[in-house]
Structure 1
């Protein structure tokens, strides 16, 4: 295969943002719209969850609560787990 994203996914290194544990980081590879409108995809990108940007899991909410994610060096955002599942990252 010549597609590095697919090769990395097959190696198990591309995972959903939701699956990262606190302290783990990744590079955003794909932001899917999923069953939601394209507006959600646009909003996630505007918050800093866009392709090739580094993200880190800061905190996971209890009992299925929101996730706190650092996008870049200083921006921290809280997003729903269902939204985080739409963001695919390459673990670093």
Structure 2
């Protein structure tokens, strides 16, 4: 008798969890957009943008050079070179 009660409850729980599984996509998508924005502002991070055709777009040469010069001025480059044994 107990198994006849547990089977519909288990089926109902399975249906409910599947119904709510799609709701997480909206919240995690918003979180990933904010993470991508933070990553693109940091030094040396990939831009994460896409072109109109959907192909990934990197930084321009001028943007990379600007980040390099900024890292030289604020001491980040020397710190990383000392830490990792660079030039």
- Normalised by the length of structure 2, the TM-score is 0.20
Q: Which has the larger radius of gyration?
A: 2
Higher relative contact order (CA 8 A, sep 6+): 1
Judging by fraction of residues, say which structure has more strand: 1
- Normalised by the length of structure 1, the TM-score is 0.19
